[in-house]
Structures are given as structure tokens and as C-alpha cells.
Amino acid sequence: MTNPDRKVALVTGAGSGIGRASALALLRAGYQVVLTGRNANKLQATLNDAAELAEHATAVESDVRDPASVAALFTQISKTYGRLDLLFNNAGTGAPPVPLEDIKFEHWRATIDTNLTGAFLCTQQAFKLMKAQAPMGGRIINNGSISAHAPRPNSAPYTASKHAMTGLTKSTSLDGRKYNIACGQIDIGNAATDMAIPMQRGVPQANGEIAAEAVMDVEHVAQAVAQMAALPLESNIQFMTIMATKMPFIGRG
């Protein structure tokens, strides 16, 4: 169900974790939200969690790694809503935590294709839609990571993709100026999602030890995304870091 009084947001990787929590937060903030991901059942679970707000959400199965799938997604958004006000490039994956020399090429490729190429393809399509709509412009938020600043042991594919995401964010901010497109990045550390379960049990540290790490409520991340989205386009949170206060990042662990 479309509502012309609601701004339109697209959340990739909306079937779980940060994507699900952020999509729900944006619905509560008054957005019409397009949920996308590769797993239709997970997208439906997000709709179920939305309860009565689900009438303002649409689930579209797509694969951000596939240019044709991304183009079809944005064509559907354009036909259904006529515009896009917010893109949250959230879809992401990681590779098995093995020594760098043992990383399989297919795991490297899958991580880069999802985390970086997927964000680029969605950004490219968002530019085309946002610069053609009236009023022109919109906002793009990229899901970076603490790994955009410092790596974990045995995480070369993920870390490389997130460092590259910072470059994409900066280029998007610069190239989007003439179209009134703002772009910022949220760097997240240890949100309590399924992905963070091993951290609470114990994960390798830079000194070789195994240690449990503090985590934070994923809802705090969702609130931060909604805060970034709420700004008028004349203002932008370029980079925001939100992390579990006691995780080993600041200082020497």
C-alpha cells in the first residue's frame, strides 16, 4: 500500500540482523520501506515483525550482486512509488575465518561481490532515480564496519571490502553533490545479531588469545540509522561509529 505522505526507503539485506532492525525503525519513523534480500522467507519474517506497520512495507526478492536483478528492483520502485528518498546499503557477508593464505577464491569473490559490488550497483541505480525525480535528491547510507578501520585476525576479504566501502562513501558524497544526494557511512561494532554470537563465546584477538567480547543491542544501531536518515539534505552525518562500549577497539584491546 503506497502513501504519498511517507518518504520511500530501500533497505538491502532486510531479512535479518541490522537490516531487519533498521527497516522496522524506519517504518516507525514514518517511511514507506522496500525490503530486499535473497531469501523471501526472511523478508516475510521482517514483515511479520512489522505488525500493523507492514501495510507501509513491500518485500522484493533480489540479489544485489546481479546487475540485472538490481536494475529490476529499482524499476519496480520507480513504477510503484515514483521516487526513492533513502537507500541503506546494508547487505553483507563474510568469509570463513581462516589464514589469509588459505582463503578460497570463491569466498573472497562472494564477500567482495556482496559487500562492495552490491553497494555500488544499488548506489548507481539510486543516482539514476534520485537525480531524475522531483524534487531531485536523496540520501544514501552505507553500512561500513569497525573493520573499515581495523581488521580482525583472518578477515582479509571482509576487511578489504569495508575499507573499500569507505572509498565508495567518499566518492558517492562528492559525485552526488550536483544532484543533491547526500551519502554517509555508519561503522558498527559488535551489534548483537546472529553474526555476533561467536563474539560472546570467544573470538581470536590480535595477540593470539581467545576472548569474549562485549556486544550491544541491535536496536541502538537501528536508531542511529534512523537518526542519520532524519536529517534534511542540507546536512549530513558523513561517518558515524557506533559500537559496544567495552569491545576491544579503542586503545590496545
Annotated catalytic residues are 158
**Distance of alpha carbon 14 from alpha carbon 89, whole angstroms:** 10
| Segment holding 87, helix H or strand E | strand 86-89
C-alpha cell of 213? 567480547
- Euclidean distance between CA atoms 224 and 187, whole angstroms: 11
Taking the CA atoms of 204, 145, 239 and 220 in sequence, report the sign of the dihedral they define: negative
- Checking DSSP bridges between strand 32-37 and strand 57-61, what pairing results, if any? parallel
Grid cell, residue 203, equals 573470538
Helix axes 40-50, 17-28, angle to 10 degrees: 40
Question: How far is 106 from 56, CA to CA, in rounded Å?
Answer: 38
Residue count of the chain, please give it. 253
Query: How far apart, in Å, are the Cα atoms of 224 and each of 161, 192, 227?
Result: 22, 15, 5
φ, ψ (nearest 5 deg) of residue 113 = -65, -40
